[in-house]
Chains A and B, each alone.
Chain A
Amino acid sequence: MEKTREVTTFQAATILISTMIGVGVLPLPLFAVRSGDTGAPFITVLGIGIGAIALIIITKLGLRHPNKTIISYSEDIIGKWLGKIFSLLVILFFLVLTALAAREFGAVVITAVLLETPLEVTVLVMLLLAAISARNTMNTFVYIHSFYIPIILAPVLIIVALSLKNANFLYLRPFIASDLKDSFNGALTVAALLQGSFLMTLIIPTMKNPKSAVKASLWAIFISGGLYVLIVAATVSIFGTEEIKKLYWPTLELARTTSLPGNILQRLDVVFISVWVIAVFTTIFASYFLTIQSLKEYFNLQDHKMLAYFLLPFIFTLAMVPQNILQLYDIILFIGKVGLIFTFFYPMVLYCWDLIRNKRGSKDESKQA
């Protein structure tokens, strides 16, 4: 079956943005403040820098093989068996990432909105929604992401704008964190939140004009990164670093402190979370879709539809593994950093290997000629 190439640059960028902005934004200021106090925005920028490098490597690598995804071209580069092993690990990683995102979201919902609803139900509803949507075709996947993008960006911008009147910019000084090692650690944590961008490897083969993939990546990282920095700066300037360390989801607290002018609604946090469901959905949907599409390619299947339901029990079970919210965040931080091996170092090694191999290949050819 021939693949249709319909994805535009704009659509590719929106997919990446809506994938990168997800449930991770809620604890983001906490992560940043923990490792850098007032240097939090700086650490965030650093993390985004790392994320951007990773994304660009993935994109460049994808561009060298514009008709394949990483699952198939990794076999071409490092050999069949090594490629298979690493692909499986990557797929497993995204399976876990999907589960953790769903669980984290469930934790937020039962703490902030639905106090009496069991965690299992909220997680299952979200996973079901993602599974049913993941049965769609690649084109629909793209349409869904570009459709929701304004709804994902708007609430954050509105909340930040409304809360600025309480901001105290002194909380942001000094800008640069003192401890280099801690800063780097924090930056890695932030970069781990951007791992959804790995999806680019799936998008490139469907792009109308693959050459503009780098442009799409840069725009995506610029917009979602900008949003990250904005959130961190706003929360820190409103709460101060010490207060943030006591909060699990500072971004949510930010929504709590704001109210609409005219007192139309007394509180905004519930509304914020409800709209936030969409952002979380797109993230989980993206990693779910990435997982089953990769699996489909891994096993050379014709159709990905059955896989969507097949994986559901596994993901759900994985999501239920963490005992409590403390353990959940330990796991999330750990998995996030481990994930960087797959989403950063693995593509980098592949890229270098591919470059060397090709150079040698072209030399051989020139010798023959």
Chain B
Amino acid sequence: MSVFRHRTRRKKKLPIDEIPSKQLEEGPKKISGTLDENVMYMKEMLGESDDFVIKHFKVFGKVSAVLMYVNSLTDQNRINNDILKPLMYKPEHLLKKDILLDELISILFSEILYDSKAKLNSEFDELVNVTLLGETVIVIDGIEEAIHIDTRKVDKRSIDSPETEQAVLGPREGFIENISTNIALVRARLPTADFVVKTMKIGRLTKTTVAFCYIKGIASEQVINEVEKRLSEIDIDAILDTGYLEQFIEDNPFSPFPQTQSTERPDKTVSNLVEGRVAILADGSPFALLVPVVFNQFYQTFDDYSSRFLMGSFARLARMLALVFSLIFPSLYVSFISFNPELLPTEFAVAVAGGRAGVPYPAVIEVLIIEISMEVLREATVRMPKQVGGALSIVGVLVVGEAAVNAGLASPITVVVIALTSIGSFATPAYVAAFALRMLRFPILVLAGIFGLYGVVVGVIFIFNHMLSLKSFGVPYMAPVSPGNSQGMKDVVIRSPLWWMPNRPNFLKPVNRDRLGAQNNKELQHNKLGNDQREDT
């Protein structure tokens, strides 16, 4: 039995003729020797669009030929200078020679066209496809093969600092929408032959290039095969982002918790690859998906590792506290106030009761009202045009909060509690994980309203049990806490010094386990000893 429990979401594959595509309706066809016929066919396929260019010319001024490309995707200068020009002017050393039609192709290839990516093809199917990807197709009269050359040029964003994952200490580069740039960003950090990139095309219409990368000899074979299998099972019309892929490859689509990690940071991607994970990139998406994941990854940041371990550990503790707060703080407040006020110190309990004096609703309703308006505000500020956003969020938080208290809709302490919770949920570096806890806050709140602390604990047990039952590509979600692993535990609550963690995470079942050289540890000890002795003398 396989350790993976992954459902094939679509039971029956849809018949292929449902693809809205002209070329496949026609069926495969080979290129013919007659130029006009070939041009007619291509025109039929692509001619409706005005950015499809057909340019007639004569190779070396003699043989008539046609150049075809999609205007919007190609580099005009390159076509003029690197393709058209050498094809039209016969070079000097060939001037005296009479070229036969049979030789023409080989001469063009070996002496005229200086492009390493030039290829020959005779299938119309393929030619149409490559034209649409930005290549230039050259058809020559009397020759039953066409040359196509990569002339793609699509504008891309420059490499920017990652928006969603800021790091104080650490590289400032983030992924962009272009997949080859993204792969380059990763590969530049991993100049090793073991780094493997495999690509495939997914999406009937978008034909998105999807790449999955791993380090051979570290990532477990099982995981690699499973990733490949799940990716190749996807059959959809459009893949516009890695988020689309995520929804097809995750283990439990009904869980609120993310089972893949998406990151904008090449450095983070590399560190995960080195730990034995697989990264999935898609053209058009500035996010890489990392699998398999465990929960503790979602509150770790790159800063934890790039800064010294004491700083990293402290920051991580604060973040964990924020994470717990964002889940249960409002419900704790509700259950203390409405069920067990005797737990609070008397002075505080009196203050709370005084603040709530004018509020007509029970604490749950009050907190729910404020929570929901907070969610609305938050969603509004995300979608708001940038120019208005700043103003609105201040208006929203300050004015509405103050007014709600004055109007007797909420007590001041409730506002404080909700504000702390909301801020806490922003401290979680992974947006999706924070979102899961934000969502789960509401059912727990309702439970707290009904059962007090008992309800909160029941809710928390329920969530933990669910998390403990989750798996991501065969790896238990709560590893290395449960199933426990002493080596992995060093990187859960605190971030231990790097030299305390000589092995790669065990739960990923890496092929090669050693992260540190055996000598490393000894030398560190030795250096420390040396320093001590120097101080003594």
A residues engaging B (CB < 8 A)?
Answer: 1-2, 4, 6, 8, 10-11, 109, 113-114, 117, 122, 125-126, 129, 132-133, 136-137, 139-140, 142-144, 146-148, 263-267, 270-271, 273-275, 277-278, 281
Q: How far is the CA of A139 from the CA of B465 in the complex (A)?
A: 12
For A129, the chain B residues whose CB sits under 8 A away are: 458, 461-462, 465
Q: How far is the CA of A139 from the CA of B469 in the complex (A)?
A: 8
B333-358: contact bitstring with A at CB < 8 Å (1 yes, 0 no)? 00000011011111000000000000
Judging by beta carbons under 8 Å apart, are A136 and B458 in contact?
A: no
Q: How far is the CA of A270 from the CA of B462 in the complex (A)?
A: 20
Judging by beta carbons under 8 Å apart, are B453 and A274 in contact?
A: yes
Judging by beta carbons under 8 Å apart, are A265 and B457 in contact?
A: no
Determine which of B451, B453, B464, B478 lies in contact with A271 in the assembled complex, contact meaning CB atoms within 8 Å: B453
Judging by beta carbons under 8 Å apart, are B345 and A263 in contact?
A: yes
Determine which of A8, A133, A143, A265 lies in contact with B476 in the assembled complex, contact meaning CB atoms within 8 Å: A143
Task: Flag the segment in B197-205, B311-319, B481-489 that touches A.
Answer: B481-489
Judging by beta carbons under 8 Å apart, are B451 and A125 in contact?
A: yes
For A6, the chain B residues whose CB sits under 8 A away are: 483
Determine which of B340, B462, B478 lies in contact with A147 in the assembled complex, contact meaning CB atoms within 8 Å: B478
Determine which of A122, A132, A140 lies in contact with B454 in the assembled complex, contact meaning CB atoms within 8 Å: A122
Q: How far is the CA of A270 from the CA of B341 in the complex (A)?
A: 11
Judging by beta carbons under 8 Å apart, are B483 and A11 in contact?
A: yes
Judging by beta carbons under 8 Å apart, are B454 and A274 in contact?
A: yes
Judging by beta carbons under 8 Å apart, are B461 and A117 in contact?
A: no
Could you show 19 A-B contacts with beta carbons less than 8 Å apart? A4-B3, A10-B484, A113-B339, A113-B452, A114-B451, A122-B454, A129-B458, A129-B465, A133-B465, A139-B476, A140-B465, A143-B483, A147-B468, A147-B482, A264-B345, A270-B340, A270-B453, A271-B453, A277-B457
Q: How far is the CA of A270 from the CA of B481 in the complex (A)?
A: 28
* Inter-chain pairs besides A125-B458, A147-B481, 15 sampled, C-beta below 8 Å: A11-B484, A109-B454, A113-B452, A114-B451, A125-B451, A133-B465, A136-B469, A140-B465, A143-B469, A143-B476, A148-B464, A266-B345, A271-B343, A274-B457, A281-B461
Judging by beta carbons under 8 Å apart, are B461 and A278 in contact?
A: yes
Determine which of B3, B451, B482 lies in contact with A143 in the assembled complex, contact meaning CB atoms within 8 Å: B482
For A109, the chain B residues whose CB sits under 8 A away are: 454
Give how many A-B residue pairs fall within 8 Å (CB-CB): 92
Q: How far is the CA of A132 from the CA of B453 in the complex (A)?
A: 21
6 A-B pairs with least C-beta separation: A147-B482, A274-B453, A140-B469, A277-B457, A143-B482, A143-B468
Judging by beta carbons under 8 Å apart, are A146 and B483 in contact?
A: yes
Judging by beta carbons under 8 Å apart, are B342 and A267 in contact?
A: yes
Q: Which residue of B lies closest to A147 (CB)?
A: B482
Q: Which residue of B lies closest to A265 (CB)?
A: B343
For B452, the chain A residues whose CB sits under 8 A away are: 113-114
Judging by beta carbons under 8 Å apart, are A266 and B344 in contact?
A: yes
Determine which residue in B3, B344, B458 has the highest number of CB atoms from chain A within 10 A of its CB, and name it. B458
Q: Which residue of A lies closest to B481 (CB)?
A: A147
Q: How far is the CA of A136 from the CA of B465 in the complex (A)?
A: 9
- Tell me how far the C-beta of B478 lies from the nearest C-beta in chain A, rounded to whole angstroms: 6
For B270, the chain A residues whose CB sits under 8 A away are: none
B residues engaging A (CB < 8 A)?
Answer: 1, 3, 339-340, 342-346, 451-454, 456-458, 461-462, 464-465, 468-469, 476, 478, 481-484
Q: How far is the CA of A160 from the CA of B344 in the complex (A)?
A: 22
Judging by beta carbons under 8 Å apart, are A274 and B482 in contact?
A: no
Judging by beta carbons under 8 Å apart, are B468 and A140 in contact?
A: yes
Determine which of B1, B346, B454 lies in contact with A114 in the assembled complex, contact meaning CB atoms within 8 Å: B454
Q: How far is the CA of A142 from the CA of B468 in the complex (A)?
A: 9
For B3, the chain A residues whose CB sits under 8 A away are: 4
Q: Which residue of A lies closest to B453 (CB)?
A: A274
Contacts known (A114-B452, A140-B468); A266 close to B458, Cβ less than 8 A = no
Judging by beta carbons under 8 Å apart, are A266 and B343 in contact?
A: yes
For A125, the chain B residues whose CB sits under 8 A away are: 451, 454, 458
- Tell me how far the C-beta of B533 lies from the nearest C-beta in chain A, rounded to whole angstroms: 41
For A4, the chain B residues whose CB sits under 8 A away are: 3
Contacts known (A11-B483, A274-B457); A144 close to B468, Cβ less than 8 A = yes
Determine which residue in A117, A137, A140, A275 has the highest number of CB atoms from chain B within 10 A of its CB, and name it. A140
For B454, the chain A residues whose CB sits under 8 A away are: 109, 113-114, 122, 125, 273-274, 277
- Tell me how far the C-beta of B246 lies from the nearest C-beta in chain A, rounded to whole angstroms: 23
For A10, the chain B residues whose CB sits under 8 A away are: 484
Q: Which residue of B lies closest to A6 (CB)?
A: B483
Q: Which residue of A lies closest to B341 (CB)?
A: A266
Q: Which residue of A lies closest to B455 (CB)?
A: A125
Judging by beta carbons under 8 Å apart, are B465 and A278 in contact?
A: no
Q: How far is the CA of A11 from the CA of B483 in the complex (A)?
A: 8
Q: How far is the CA of A275 from the CA of B481 in the complex (A)?
A: 19
Q: How far is the CA of A295 from the CA of B18 in the complex (A)?
A: 49
- Tell me how far the C-beta of B157 lies from the nearest C-beta in chain A, rounded to whole angstroms: 43
Judging by beta carbons under 8 Å apart, are A267 and B343 in contact?
A: yes
Contacts known (A129-B458, A271-B343); A147 close to B451, Cβ less than 8 A = no
Q: Which residue of A lies closest to B465 (CB)?
A: A133
Q: How far is the CA of A347 from the CA of B100 in the complex (A)?
A: 96
- Tell me how far the C-beta of A120 lies from the nearest C-beta in chain B, rounded to whole angstroms: 13
Contacts known (A114-B339, A143-B476, A147-B481); A265 close to B344, Cβ less than 8 A = yes
For B342, the chain A residues whose CB sits under 8 A away are: 266-267, 270
For B1, the chain A residues whose CB sits under 8 A away are: 1-2
Q: How far is the CA of A274 from the CA of B476 in the complex (A)?
A: 27
- Tell me how far the C-beta of A264 lies from the nearest C-beta in chain B, rounded to whole angstroms: 8
Contacts known (A114-B451, A146-B484, A147-B464); A278 close to B344, Cβ less than 8 A = no
Q: How far is the CA of A271 from the CA of B454 in the complex (A)?
A: 9
Q: Which residue of B lies closest to A263 (CB)?
A: B345
For B478, the chain A residues whose CB sits under 8 A away are: 143, 147
Q: How far is the CA of A274 from the CA of B336 in the complex (A)?
A: 12
For B462, the chain A residues whose CB sits under 8 A away are: 129, 132
Q: How far is the CA of A266 from the CA of B458 in the complex (A)?
A: 23
Q: How far is the CA of A129 from the CA of B465 in the complex (A)?
A: 10
Judging by beta carbons under 8 Å apart, are A277 and B481 in contact?
A: no
Q: How far is the CA of A146 from the CA of B489 in the complex (A)?
A: 14
Q: How far is the CA of A11 from the CA of B344 in the complex (A)?
A: 38
- Tell me how far the C-beta of B64 lies from the nearest C-beta in chain A, rounded to whole angstroms: 69
- Tell me how far the C-beta of B498 lies from the nearest C-beta in chain A, rounded to whole angstroms: 26
For B343, the chain A residues whose CB sits under 8 A away are: 265-267, 270-271
Contacts known (A266-B343, A270-B340, A275-B457); A144 close to B465, Cβ less than 8 A = yes
For A140, the chain B residues whose CB sits under 8 A away are: 465, 468-469
For A147, the chain B residues whose CB sits under 8 A away are: 464, 468, 478, 481-482
For B344, the chain A residues whose CB sits under 8 A away are: 265-266
For A277, the chain B residues whose CB sits under 8 A away are: 454, 457-458, 461
- Tell me how far the C-beta of A285 lies from the nearest C-beta in chain B, rounded to whole angstroms: 9
Q: Which residue of A lies closest to B484 (CB)?
A: A146
Judging by beta carbons under 8 Å apart, are B469 and A278 in contact?
A: no
